[in-house]
Structure 1
Amino acid sequence: MELTFEILALLFFVATLAGFIDAMAGGGGLITLPALLAAGIPPTQALATNKLQSSFGSFSASWYFVRNGIVSIRELRFAILCTFVGSAVGAEVVQYIDAGILTSLIPLLLVAISLYFLMMPKAKEQKGTAKLSEAMFAFCVGGGVGFYDGFFGPGTGSIFTVCFVALGHFSLVDATARTKVLNFTSNIAALIFFVIAGLPVWELGLVMAVGGFIGAQLGAKVVVTKGQKWIRPLVIVMSMLMAIKLLWEQHHDWLVSLIQ
């Protein structure tokens, strides 16, 4: 497809908004991935390009938290390793799925993650001992969520944050900081395998990356604010609308005949 200036400009602003939202509450991929699909990018390439641009945003937020001493890379080293391996496996597996199946699968995954956002309880700071040891948390959460991020991705940040709060009993700020580090790890692991396969649309991905980087820096500075009250509904509505659009495009004839 031809990448016009209008498409590049629109997706730049979409990525900036998504980076801002993702740094605060996660779920930025629920905005950028549907936008890439709506722009006509094939599913596997859309996943790869989304991973390219999101890597810059997650790095930006991670850098902010590490630089300000909110999170220690050393303390997360085993979780980083498990997340990297899980994401790499997910990114490799998704490349072996037929494009037609993937096209049908993406709207369903968008709906599923939207329902997760809709029904999940609001993360609250909890005191007490962690429910899982550090090693078990790294293996189960890091590896499992990492695999999901490599395979699909949208909503990964929110899933990580909920796990850190509910299972690790971290404060929201600490949970969000740790989430960004693991999210960057899973992003870069998946991106490496997508680049080897030659899948990212580089021009588009790098333009979006600049927007995502800027948005993530702004979002990290106001992390865990009242803005989350409108972020989650926005992400849910955007994702559901895009899922409906994709399902309509795929099954238009069947739906029309069903209505008639």
Structure 2
Amino acid sequence: MEMWLMTAASLLAGFVDAIVGGGGLILVPALFAAFPGAPPATLLGTNKSASIWGTAASAAQFSQRVQMRWGALWPAALAGFCGALAGAWGVTQFPGDFLRRALPAILLAVLLYTLARKDMGRHHAPRFTGRAETLAACSIGLGIGVYDGFFGPGTGSFLVFLFVRWMGYDFLNASASAKVINVLTNGAALLLLALKGHVWWHYGLAMAVANVAGSLIGTRVALRHGAGFVRIVFMAVVSALILKTAYDAFLK
């Protein structure tokens, strides 16, 4: 029964995550509900073992239809990988309670700003070129990588928002670019958790197949409907993140 539940949750998570990130909103709670007595690190590791493949499949599919700016994205992805490793180390040294309580307010600010700027992310007009673009993308990759390794919720949404607001991308190109960085940040977390034995590979394999299937469907939907649709899904996911993180921080 648990295998079927996890497979269905992974399929839906892959679909949502491919469009704008936020698949963890679906899959992580499903894992915790199905296995309430399991170590949290094991459930998070199993989540990463599935979601990384869906994110990679989505990135590959986007790259065939969207003009990816690889000269900036590969260094940014590597910076994200290093940042995630540093963040994962940091979480073993410092408590994350302050970030848990601040996160709902940060996400709310992102949502309100996006709502106020109705044209933001509708047109693709990159602000940087050459070395300046690489440095800006690496700053995003490193900063969000550290956050993903240290805490994690909303990583995809933060990547999309920064690529839109700072880099001048539209929501479709921002989502495609975010996938490349997110593959490497997820890879860093998965590497650490797997080395410590915190992955259920027998569940992870079935969930990975479902996540890839959901991701491929979600990517096609995003490509078909364009930046305006991705913007709407982005606001819906951020709204759900605000509710989830506020509940975890103040009511749980």
Answer whether TM exceeds 0.5 for this pair. Answer: yes
* Distance of 1:233 and 1:187 partners within structure 2: 23
Q: CA contact under 8 A between 1:55 and 1:188: conserved in structure 2?
A: yes
- Change over 3 Å in CA distance of 1:165–1:118 after alignment to 2: closer
* Distance of 1:110 and 1:11 partners within structure 2: 27
Pick aligned residue for 1:240 from 231, 239, 243: 243
* Distance of 1:150 and 1:42 partners within structure 2: 18
| 4+ residue segments displaced more than 4 Å | 104-114, 245-248
Q: Which has the larger radius of gyration?
A: 1
* Distance of 2:242 and 2:205 partners within structure 1: 23
Is structure 2 residue 173 aligned with structure 1 residue 178? no
Is structure 2 residue 10 aligned with structure 1 residue 15? yes
The count of corresponding residues between Structure 1 and Structure 2 is 240
Match of 2:155 in 1: 156
Match of 2:168 in 1: 169
* Distance of 2:66 and 2:48 partners within structure 1: 26
How do 1:33-182 and structure 2 match up within 5 A?
Answer: 33-39=28-34, 40=36, 41-68=38-65, 70-95=67-92, 108=101, 111=104, 115=108, 118-122=111-115, 123-124=120-121, 125=123, 127=125, 129-130=127-128, 133-182=132-181
- Change over 3 Å in CA distance of 1:232–1:64 after alignment to 2: same
* Distance of 1:161 and 1:179 partners within structure 2: 6
TM-score, normalising length: structure 1: 0.76
Deviation at 1:45, TM superposition (A): 2.1
Amino acid at match of 2:45: A
TM-score, normalising length: structure 2: 0.78
Identity over the aligned pairs, expressed in percent? 33
Match of 2:20 in 1: 25
Match of 1:223 in 2: 222
SS of the equivalent of 1:121 reads helix
* Distance of 1:86 and 1:218 partners within structure 2: 30
Unaligned stretches of 5+ in structure 2?
Answer: none
- Change over 3 Å in CA distance of 1:130–1:73 after alignment to 2: closer
CA RMSD of aligned residues (A): 3.2
- Change over 3 Å in CA distance of 1:201–1:139 after alignment to 2: same
Match of 1:253 in 2: none
CA deviations 1:62-86 (Å, max 9, x no partner) are 1112344632544422112211100
